[in-house]
Structure 1
Amino acid sequence: MKTIAQERGLRWLNAGGLRPTRQRMSLAALLVGDGHNRHVTAEGLYASALECGEKVSLATVYNTLRAFCEAGIMHEITVDAGRSYFDTRMDDHPHFFWEEENRISDAPNEELELVRVPKAPEGTEVSRVDVVIRLRKI
């Protein structure tokens, strides 16, 4: 019998049209199994999987996160060239990046006001706008 976390993970994978392999099921349960949204790095998710006894490589975690993004059930937020976070919350919303802690969190959406987005070059369209507000202690 599946746990609640496994059931939530399976529904999440089904929403993206993804085949529920053992590793996808395990990572999906870690990401959405408790019903809360997550901001994770590949390395952090890999560590969590190992703690749960899942035999998975870091490369598989990266590939699986990319597959989740391509399936439209997760977003990648790039903070800089070497650092990406993956977000299970799919609505448009801004993020805080806490520089000293190297973590990302949701920022209040109702306080962000974008008046205008530049027109996309001919032959393209804006697919999404990511807003990352960097924070440091003073």
Structure 2
Amino acid sequence: MAKAGDNARKALVDELNGVLADHLALYIKTKSFHWHVAGPRFHDLHLLFDTQATAIFAVVDLIAERVRKNDADTLTSIGAIAGRTKVKDQDKTSLSAEKMVAELRDDNAALVARLKKLKQLAGDAGDNATDGLLDDWTDQAEQRVWFLSQTLK
């Protein structure tokens, strides 16, 4: 018979894996935009996208380790990532710089919302370590939203 805490932990791990998938998908999308951005703002956006991709990737291992520390399995393949992410694919390589920035802004804003949901789940599960890390991850995503939003003004 499952205990109430087991359900909270299962919900936490499920959403941690979703957030992990979002970070991996957002990393790939941001890196792709880094490679394909063109136009008069090329230099600045090329560097911004690279900086943001690096920051996103830096969180990936921490998220996966929180799943493992909760005695659960994490994502194992590209298919698992694709099945869990809420980040939409973007295969066009000729988007305008503004569309790239807007798309990344919106993806990061959606990630912020998902991280805030995860914070509640961490609290419900009594996972103080994940709860504490989420403040930093949320701040990083909010900073990306801010930078990208300011770039569009």
Relative to the length of structure 2, the TM-score reads 0.29
Q: Which has the higher contact order (CA 8 A, sep 6+)?
A: 2
Q: Kindly indicate which of the two structures has a greater share of residues assigned to strand.
A: 1
